């Protein structure tokens, strides 16, 4: 019996051909082809309008005549003189093509003329690290990768070299091997606009002497030349828009004078840590902390920064010469700073100044408990940057939704990291054509007649309900070895479908397991009521059930619900690191009710 099963399984595993059209696709084809064997461009047009919610016009890529011609040419190499209609298989192939029928728009479509503070911005943390926060190499390669993915904010920690005559980029007081600042700057210049024309912001964590600050200013000026945006208005009271800042580079750091009055740096001896790498688990615990490298202060004054490894605790007690100070200061487009006093005082909005405040993830969570509306008011005009706590030495990440719910523009992530939170970050910035800038929802920017703003703690009514149907998956047989999931039989796939968003919207559901099939047909529907659809992300994961071990990972994606196209769509899946698979995709349907 065992040998018979092996034979059957291997025969099934190597079965060629495409996924069969699901029953509902057959019914739709039959309906719109009016019972015929072929669907004409006019009939396809009706389907696109009524089911897919598309606005079809003659000049668009959705011109049905052109779409039919392109599809037939691609599939069958049929010329324009041959038939101009689709069979059921052609129709199914079109619907299951991630290129022809994607789940979200691929163009920039939001208003890009509002001030920069009105946008969520794709933001990296310690962008030069190749791996963990303590001992990995520093390099320009992760910076290039991030920029090519559409990241718009790059962070560089700059330090003097041992002879104090040049500038290095490294994670201070750790074992990370440095990279020269000039190399990072040149790579930023070469790759800044490979994925998006909108501005790149370089946040500098500065540990330099006045002389080296002057040298950094010279390097930056000579590298970027006309690309560099230097505001005439020191406090940037009139913040330009992404549209105005296309193809420009901006610098954000503390002005030199900020360092004069700051406390001296606590010089703590570095502790050697043994970090055990834990395998990503299947549940939603969103990453466990693996070490404790810093004590957290609970008072408001200490809460801006709780780690020796992070930005705003650093100081430089040198005296600054006027000419060196002014040259360096002139380059700073977005002023950062750590105000004295309580967190509430730090969130006060100043009429004549736009600034950037940085908070650790713990400080943000603390502020969100009692100062939610203060955060909203602050982020309506000023920049808020959130960064991972220092205990995330393996370069894990935190929940980004807390920052977005409170209007934080720069939710800074370890882009070289891993895990579900990074999937969410990548998902959010698939919005707006993947340009790295996503306009904040109106409710985060509105001020009511009595000067009231959105309160993240308010209990909200359901605004919209999303209905998701998952028909079938395919592509694993092309992208994986036949024995990848199971040595002796085809895989047993199941899918998890759910929502990441504000706490009331968060949920995760699961399909049945389809046994022994490379092309699982689940044909299941799920309904998701949403109170804040503007910030909600659709999470999709596929796993292969394993009775004796941990289930195998088989793909994931996160899609911004505000961007979802209605109707039947081909949804590409990505690996754990966020790289798109060549062939793996799902056929799904989205409807808002």
3-state secondary structure of 291: coil
CB 468 within 8 A of CB 479: no
Q: How far is CA 159 from CA 64, 124, 187, 325, 411, in A?
A: 58, 19, 19, 17, 24
Q: Which of 125, 207, 406, 543 is catalytic?
A: 125
CA-only gyration radius of the chain, Å: 26
Six token digits for residue 332: 């700073």
- Alpha carbons 103 and 199: distance in angstroms, whole number: 27
Q: Is 77 a residue of the active site?
A: no
C-alpha closest to that of 568 among 21, 13, 6: 21
Q: Name 44's Cβ contacts closer than 8 Å, sequence gap at least 6.
A: 32, 64, 67, 68, 86, 91
CB 468 within 8 A of CB 526: yes
C-alpha closest to that of 318 among 126, 161, 164, 163: 164
How many distinct helices (H) and strands (E) make up the chain?
17, 19
Q: Is 109 a residue of the active site?
A: no
Buried residues in 96-122 as b, exposed as e (16+ CB within 10 A) = bebebbbbbeeebebebebbbbbbbbb
Q: Between β-strands 383-387 and 356-360, what pairing exists: parallel, antiparallel or unpaired? A: parallel
E strand spans, 109-231: 119-124, 153-160, 167-169, 179-180, 200-206
Q: Quick one: CA dihedral 483, 484, 487, 492, positive or negative? A: negative
- Alpha carbons 425 and 438: distance in angstroms, whole number: 12
Q: Which of 171, 335, 406, 543 is catalytic?
A: 171
C-alpha closest to that of 566 among 111, 101, 107: 101
Catalytic annotation, residues: 125, 171
């Amino acid at each position: 019996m065992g040998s018979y099963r092996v034979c059957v399984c291997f025969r099934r595993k190597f079965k060629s051909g495409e996924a069969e059209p699901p029953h509902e696709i057959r019914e739709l084809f039959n309906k719109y082809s009016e019972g015929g064997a072929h669907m004409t461009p006019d009939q396809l047009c009706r389907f696109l309008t009524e089911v897919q919610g598309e606005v079809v016009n003659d000049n668009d890529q959705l011109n049905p005549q052109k779409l039919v011609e392109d599809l037939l040419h691609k599939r069958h190499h049929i010329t324009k003189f041959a038939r101009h209609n689709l069979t059921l298989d052609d129709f199914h192939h079109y619907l299951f093509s991630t290129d022809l029928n994607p789940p979200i728009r691929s163009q920039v479509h939001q208003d890009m003329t509002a001030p920069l503070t009105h946008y969520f911005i794709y933001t990296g943390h310690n962008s030069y690290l190749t791996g963990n926060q303590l001992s990995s190499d520093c390099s320009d390669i992760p910076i290039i990768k991030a920029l090519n993915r559409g990241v718009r904010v790059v962070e560089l920690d700059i330090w003097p070299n041992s002879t104090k005559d040049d500038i290095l980029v490294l994670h201070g007081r750790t074992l990370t091997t440095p990279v020269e600042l000039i190399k990072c700057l040149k790579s930023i210049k070469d790759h800044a606009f490979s994925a998006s024309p909108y501005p790149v912001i370089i946040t500098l964590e500065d540990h330099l002497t006045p002389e080296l600050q002057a040298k950094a200013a010279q390097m930056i000026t000579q590298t970027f030349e006309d690309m560099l945006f230097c505001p005439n208005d020191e406090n940037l009271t009139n913040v330009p828009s992404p549209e105005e800042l296309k193809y420009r580079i901006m610098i954000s750091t503390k002005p030199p004078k900020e360092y004069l009055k700051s406390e001296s740096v606590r010089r703590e001896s570095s502790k050697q840590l043994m970090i055990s790498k834990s395998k990503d688990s299947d549940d939603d615990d969103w990453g466990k902390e693996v070490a404790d490298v810093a004590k957290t202060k609970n008072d408001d004054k200490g809460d801006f920064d709780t780690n020796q490894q992070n930005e705003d605790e650093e100081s430089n007690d040198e005296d600054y010469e006027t000419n060196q100070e002014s040259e360096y200061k002139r380059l700073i487009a977005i002023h950062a700073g750590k105000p004295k006093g309580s967190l509430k005082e730090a969130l006060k909005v100043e009429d004549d100044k736009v600034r950037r405040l940085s908070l650790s993830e713990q400080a943000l969570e603390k502020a969100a408990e009692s100062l939610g509306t203060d955060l909203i008011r602050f982020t309506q005009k000023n920049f808020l940057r959130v960064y991972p706590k220092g205990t995330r030495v393996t370069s894990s990440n935190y929940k980004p939704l807390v920052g977005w719910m409170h209007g934080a523009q720069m939710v800074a992530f370890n882009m070289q990291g891993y895990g579900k939170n990074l999937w969410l970050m990548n998902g959010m910035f698939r919005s707006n054509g993947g340009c790295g800038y996503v306009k904040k929802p109106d409710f985060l920017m509105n001020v009511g007649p009595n000067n009231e703003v959105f309160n993240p703690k308010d209990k909200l009514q359901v605004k919209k309900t999303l209905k998701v149907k998952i028909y079938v998956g395919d592509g694993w047989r092309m992208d994986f070895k036949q024995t990848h999931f199971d040595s002796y039989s085809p895989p047993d796939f199941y899918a998890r479908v759910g929502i990441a968003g504000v706490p009331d919207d968060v949920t995760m559901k699961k399909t049945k397991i389809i046994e022994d099939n490379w092309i699982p047909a689940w044909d299941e529907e799920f309904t998701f009521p949403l109170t804040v659809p503007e910030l909600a992300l659709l999470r999709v994961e596929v796993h292969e059930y394993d009775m004796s071990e941990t289930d195998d990972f088989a793909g994931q994606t996160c899609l911004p619900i505000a961007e979802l196209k209605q109707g039947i769509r081909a949804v590409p899946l990505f690996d754990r690191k966020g790289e798109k698979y060549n062939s793996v995709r799902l056929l799904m349907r989205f409807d808002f009710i």
